Structure formats: C-alpha cells, structure tokens
Amino acid sequence: MPGRKIRPDDFIPPGQPIHLPGQTSGAKGAVYLFHGEEWHGGWPKDHPKYGGINLHNVPYDTLFKLTLEVHELYKKEGYRVFVVWRLHYVTACRAKAPVHIRNVIKEV
C-alpha cells in the first residue's frame, strides 16, 4: 500500500476467483489478513483482555484500533478485504466437528 509498510498475508489479483462461489476479487483485487490477537491484532471491546497489555507492553485496545485502521486503508484503496482472526481459526479447528476455513474468513 503506497506510503505505508503494511502487507497482506495473501493477495488475489483483480478479477480472479476467490473462496466465495461465483465471486471474484473485484476491480482492484482482494487482500487476506490473518490476525493474531496477542501480537498485532489486539482484542475487541467485548473481550476480557481488551483493557490489558500484550507481552511488549502495548495496549490491546491500541492494537485493535490500528488493525481496524489497516482494514479501512485497504478498503479505501479499493481492495476487497477478508480477515481471519486466530481465535476463530483455532476454535473452528479444535471443534468436535471442525468447520472449513471458509467459515472463519469474514469480509470487512
């Protein structure tokens, strides 16, 4: 992204098929972001850790706010933005009847 040193975890070029049946990555392309809450994603307001700090003394609420800003920057530039939160991924994988990864990918 111009002017910022952020990179998506994956990128699908413009007009290519994506994980949603019958849909494409859009005119600019699609970015996929995997967020680990502890390190760079933070925790949402409804989570008990929201008011705490991570191992590097960075407040989780600050991390969460910055993460949402990154989503908005990509959207503003015209990308389709898809996110996987580590907690959702781990929960889905550990379930007695694990769900497909498609079920934890959310469009922003």
pLDDT in tens, the chain (108 residues): 556 577 899 999 999 999 999 999 999 999 999 988 877 788 788 888 888 988 889 898 898 899 999 999 999 999 999 999 888 888 888 877 777 778 889 999
- Domain-embedded: residue 100: yes
- Domain-embedded: residue 1: no
Nearest to 60 by CA among 72, 71, 45: 45
Domain extent at residue 79: 10-107
CB atoms within 10 A of CB 56: 8
- Domain-embedded: residue 73: yes
- Domain-embedded: residue 48: yes
Q: Are 7 and 33 in contact (CB under 8 A)?
A: no
How many domains does the chain fold into?
Answer: 1
- Domain-embedded: residue 83: yes
CB atoms within 10 A of CB 7: 10
- Domain-embedded: residue 5: no
Q: What is the pLDDT of residue 2?
A: 56
Strand 30-35 with 80-85, pairing:
parallel
- Domain-embedded: residue 4: no
| SS3 category, 18 | coil
- Domain-embedded: residue 2: no
